[in-house]
Amino acid sequence: MMNTAFYLPALVGIVFFGIFCALALASLAGKYYERKQGFDVSNMVKEWNARVASWWVITILLLVTFWIGRGGMIALFVAASFATLREFISHVYRNRADHLTIALCFYLLLPLQYYFVLINWFSMFTVLIPVYAFLLLPIIRNMAGDNSQFFDRTAKIQWGVMITIYCLSHVPALLSLEIKDYASPNIVLLLFMLVVVQSGDVFAYLWRRAGSKIAPPRTLPSAYISIPLSTLLAASLYWITPFTLFQAALAGLMISLMGFFGNEVMRAIKRSLGIRHWGHAFSTHSVLDRLDSLCFAAPVFFHVVRYYWT
């Protein structure tokens, strides 16, 4: 477990150096095609440059919080949960009777969940939202009156809380695990998960863009490319993890699969709501658009590591 502030492990520095090199190449490629097309820049190039800019922002934020330590990482994901919950709720909030329930999500459940992560109270961290909040929110919602579409409105709020608070809180929770025979700080393992998740998104995006100027929806063929490539990347990074080469490949496969399905599920929700993006925090996409894969991958990875390696 890493609690020391202002400490950046050498392994983290090596991985971040590789990430910055990849981002620099991506930026140069985007600028090259932008200049080549002149004033008639295609939507594909514009979206690519916007995505690269968002990856730069995310990477720099992660580097700063990794350097600060565990407290900085928890603070970053408190902000991420707040932003993603706000984006989600903005598309499902339709009735003033829901106001108290939503306020409790932001100002009670969110800080409590991350407080339990901070103090390593594992039993409460794992049951606060799926048990107590699951029962409390419909009670509060019912007391507010106006029970039109009660089930639909309550379920949407509960779903948003589970995805944006509960699932995302498993990312900094990785830092609390006591992993057997692992010399490196847990923040290295956290970086491993983030790199594999985001690389899966990048590989799928590039595959969808290959030979096309306008992006089609993500399809299974993109998974056939992105998941194996992410698995190979995870295997190549086994030396920074407590895993063997084979275990790292399996972990990468699991993370990639959950990330892909997370993106697909969140796309289905957006289609059902009649929207393309959750917001525009990153020019063309929102925070939740960037983190939807992580929302599904983080809890599964956390519990597998906790069960088999602690």
Q: Do 139 and 215 fall within a single domain?
A: no
pLDDT, greater one: 232 or 225: 232
Q: Look at residue 3 and tell me if it is in a domain.
A: no
Residue 193 or 66, more confident: 193
Q: pTM, whole model, 2 decimals? A: 0.86
Question: Are 261 and 186 found together in one domain?
Answer: yes
pLDDT for 142-199, tens place per residue? 887 777 888 888 899 999 999 999 999 999 999 999 888 887 788 889 989 999 998 8
* Count of domains forming the chain: 3
Residue 4 resides in a domain: no
Residue 292 lies in a domain: yes
pLDDT at res. 39: 54
Final residue of a structural domain among 176, 206, 230: 176
In this prediction, residue 33 carries a pLDDT of: 72
Predicted pLDDT at 46: 72
Where is the domain boundary, 176, 196, 224?
A: 176
Q: Is the pLDDT of residue 3 over 50?
A: no
Q: Is residue 2 a part of any domain in this protein?
A: no
Q: 115-148 b/e with 16+ CB inside 10 Å = b?
A: ebbbeeeeeebbebbeeebeebbbebbeeeeeee
Same domain, 98 and 159: yes
Q: Are residues 98 and 167 in the same domain?
A: yes
| Residue 95: pLDDT over 90 | no
Q: Is residue 298 part of a domain?
A: yes
Tell me, yes or no, whether 219 and 205 share the same domain: yes
Q: pLDDT category, 215, cuts 50, 70, 90?
A: very low
Minimum mean pLDDT range among 75-79, 117-121, 192-196, 198-202 = 198-202
Residue type, 206: L
Which residues are 284's β-sheet partners? none
Same domain, 109 and 27: no
Please check the confidence at residue 208 and state whether its pLDDT lies above 80.
no
Please say whether the beta carbons of 54 and 277 come within 8 A.
Answer: no
What single letter denotes the amino acid at residue 50? A
Q: Does residue 293 belong to any structural domain of this protein?
A: yes
Whether the predicted pLDDT of 78 surpasses 60: yes
Q: Where in the sequence is the domain holding 203, given as residue range(s)?
A: 180-309
Query: Of the residues 113, 147, 176, which one is the last residue of a structural domain?
Result: 176
Q: What is the pLDDT of residue 210?
A: 62
Same domain? For 197 and 171 the reply is no
